[in-house]
Structure 1
Amino acid sequence: MVCRDCCCGSPKVTGVDHAAQTARLRAEVPVRISDCLDVCDQANVIVVQPSAAGRAAGARPVWLGLVNDRDATEDIVTWVHAGGPGVAPLPDILDLYAFTPPRRRAESR
């Protein structure tokens, strides 16, 4: 899932070809575009969902923030091709981008 709303994918994050990033991901892996994920301070945000095998292994989605360079996008593609969450270990380089999202307002009620 790729966040593309008020901050992610906008001119607020400079020096990134957002369309090229989205196109690259779409060329390699299934992609859903999301409205704001409420973590604008981490723009650009990409959430990698586990595959069926990953879910069976107990994996949860991995949130990656500040994904603002081509190398990070390529590292994500490589990891997803290797199996992603629950199947392939999170590469050390992507661990630098991983963060725990805050609880959403609706969940805290």
Structure 2
Amino acid sequence: MPDEPRERAPGGPAPCRVVVCRDCCCGSPKVAGVDHAAQSARLRAQVPARISDCLDVCDQANVIVVQPSAAGRAAGARPVWLGLVNDAGATEDIVTWVRAGGPGVAPLPDVLDLHVFTPPRRAVRP
């Protein structure tokens, strides 16, 4: 069925996955005018997705990270960080891209290129 999320077949390669930040800023009233619950539900209904605690990039709220599939990783893809995902259209663009294969498999839609950012490196504590 086209509306069911792609799941990993037993013994099959890992699919493309989505991580949705939902903590102090992302998913909160601090980002007004967004139906955060609907956004999370839409992603979970359509693609393999999980909810994460704060990803420490609050200035980019709402943040969604698209992790490449096994095929994408084999092609050299890295996770793609998307920020300011604050409208239903951007959510749908993410769903479409992930269902097409995501990083390393399907080209990033031009409209999502506007949301891509590089997260700051975290300091490693001794």
Shorter-chain TM-score category? Answer: over 0.9
Give the 4+ runs in structure 1 shifted more than 2 A.
none
Deviation at 1:104, TM superposition (A): 1.3
Bigger Rg, which one: 2
Unaligned runs of 5+ in 1: none
What is the TM-score of this pair, normalised by structure 2? 0.83
Percentage of pairs with the same residue: 86
1:53 alignment counterpart: 71
Q: Does residue 38 in structure 1 map to residue 56 in structure 2?
A: yes
2:37 alignment counterpart: 19
Deviation at 1:32, TM superposition (A): 1.3
Q: Which has the higher helix share?
A: 1
1:1-109 pair list within 5 angstroms: 1-106=19-124
Q: Distance in 1 between matches of 2:54 and 2:45?
A: 23
Q: Distance in 1 between matches of 2:77 and 2:47?
A: 18
Q: Distance in 2 between matches of 1:105 and 1:77?
A: 32
Q: Distance in 2 between matches of 1:104 and 1:30?
A: 26
Aligned residues: 108
Paired residue type of 2:48: P
Please report the RMSD computed on the Cα atoms of aligned residues, expressed in angstroms: 1.0
